[in-house]
Structure 1
Amino acid sequence: MDIRIEKTERAIKNAFLELRSRKPLGKITIKELCSLAAINKSTFYSHYEDIYALSDKMESETIVSVLKNISSQQEEPFKNPDVFTRNLYMALISNNTLINLLFSGTEKARLGDCLETELKRLICEKYPDYKEDPQRDIMLSFCIQGCFHAYLNNQEKDVATLVSVSESIVRKLAPMYLENSTEEN
């Protein structure tokens, strides 16, 4: 990518994040974003259709970053549920600033849904038998959404305690899950 394009992208994204830290998405105008980024409107529109397209792109990039962080933590990131839980928290925490800016207010639940969808897709790619197993699907939803909401609602608490309690819950659920999936086979 051309260095000028990279600089412009960075300026647009930084201006957007600054504005997003002060106001809801629907209140941000292209005019104020362009002024803050020191670009003109035509430059903005050559990169994005509108402010929502920019927001969507940044949200997608954040989700990809979370997923990469989870995958990079271990060779088999989805094999061990409690390790997966820890890695999910660490990935969320490492993207905490962006998550809190991009997914503030009513957007928070959307992040959880996007993470669940993408994590399930990755897990089913790795373990195709999960795709048609309703018990595994429900367990994954419970673990992903449960961890995500515990993270959102307990950010001010000690991270080690949050992770430890969540890992303990997942470990206690694992035998029930394994027992139910063994009964089916």
Structure 2
Amino acid sequence: MNKNDLRYRKTEENLKQAFLSLMLQQDCRRITIRQLCQAAQCARNTFYQHYPDLEALKAHLIGAVLTAIADSFRAPKTDLAHIDTAQIRRYTQAIIASVSAQLTTLQALLAKDDGTFQKQLADVIYTQVMAGDRGLSKVADTAINRLNAAYLAAAVAGFIARWLTEPAVSPAVAEQILFTIHQPTINTSSAYLATDPLK
């Protein structure tokens, strides 16, 4: 079947949405292909044209959401001396926009998470932060900076997970809170990147 075919793409989207909906209702390990096909209104054979099993579908969803989130953590194209308030605001705006765009998938993945997905999220953020730091400074790969990046990644992953359980907090409010928290952290990171504090 042609993956660019409109019917194929529509079925693919139906399978994803049905799986996310079922994940919000029950433990992902208890979802069956039969349940999924009923919810997606497709035949079992149709499911197998898209995925070999439910784990492959879940892995595809996780991969897509982590890639999208990772893209929002790309460092600005500037040098260390020119990271200012406007740059930090754009950075936090990109994070919140990315989370908002992946909202349904993130909510489903975090709803019954045993900590595995949140760790994957923190790991992706850490990798992107370190990649950005390496582009900004020759002393990015220091023990101190790695600790700082790990703290930042875990904190932002925790912020995202908690925000998604707080429906009263709009994206605009979340963005302002993240900016307020994140600005001093970025300033600390910039100080660590300016020189190796252990030398």
Give the drift of 1:110. Answer: 3.1
| Structure 2 residue 25 is matched with structure 1 residue 22 | yes
**Which has the bigger relative contact order, CA under 8 A and spacing at least 6?**
2
Q: Gaps (5+ residues) in structure 1?
A: none
Give the drift of 1:31. Answer: 0.9
Counterpart AA for 2:123: T
Q: Say whether the 8 Å CA contact 1:70–1:91 is kept in structure 2.
A: no
Equivalent of residue 137 in structure 1, options 133, 146, 157: 146
The corresponding residue for 1:148 is 157
Q: Say whether the 8 Å CA contact 1:83–1:167 is kept in structure 2.
A: no
Deviations 1:150-175 (Å, cap 9, x if unpaired)? 23224333554543343333333344
Alignment CA distance shift 1:82-1:16 (3 Å): same
Equivalent of residue 181 in structure 2, options 164, 169, 178: 169
Give the drift of 1:120. Answer: 3.5
Q: Distance in 1 between matches of 2:194 and 2:78?
A: 22
- Map residues 25-40 of structure 1 onto 2, 5 A cutoff: 25-40=28-43
Deviations 1:73-107 (Å, cap 9, x if unpaired)? x9539965564334323322332222111231225
Q: Say whether the 8 Å CA contact 2:118–2:157 is kept in structure 1.
A: yes
Alignment CA distance shift 1:147-1:15 (3 Å): same
Give the drift of 1:123. Answer: 4.2
Counterpart AA for 1:87: A
Q: Distance in 2 between matches of 1:112 and 1:77?
A: 30
Equivalent of residue 59 in structure 2, options 45, 56, 59: 56
Q: Say whether the 8 Å CA contact 2:20–2:104 is kept in structure 1.
A: no
Which 10-residue stretch deviates more, 28-37 or 127-136? 127-136
Q: Number of residue pairs matched?
A: 182
Q: Distance in 2 between matches of 1:117 and 1:131?
A: 17
Alignment CA distance shift 1:89-1:21 (3 Å): same
Q: Distance in 2 between matches of 1:42 and 1:9?
A: 13
The corresponding residue for 1:91 is 98
Alignment CA distance shift 1:141-1:77 (3 Å): farther
- State TM-score, norm by structure 1: 0.76
The corresponding residue for 2:119 is 113
Q: Distance in 2 between matches of 1:130 and 1:23?
A: 46
Give the drift of 1:60. Answer: 1.3
Q: Distance in 2 between matches of 1:121 and 1:172?
A: 20
Counterpart AA for 2:145: R
| Structure 2 residue 105 is matched with structure 1 residue 104 | no
- State TM-score, norm by structure 2: 0.71
Question: Counting helix residues as a fraction of each chain, which structure ranks higher?
Answer: 1
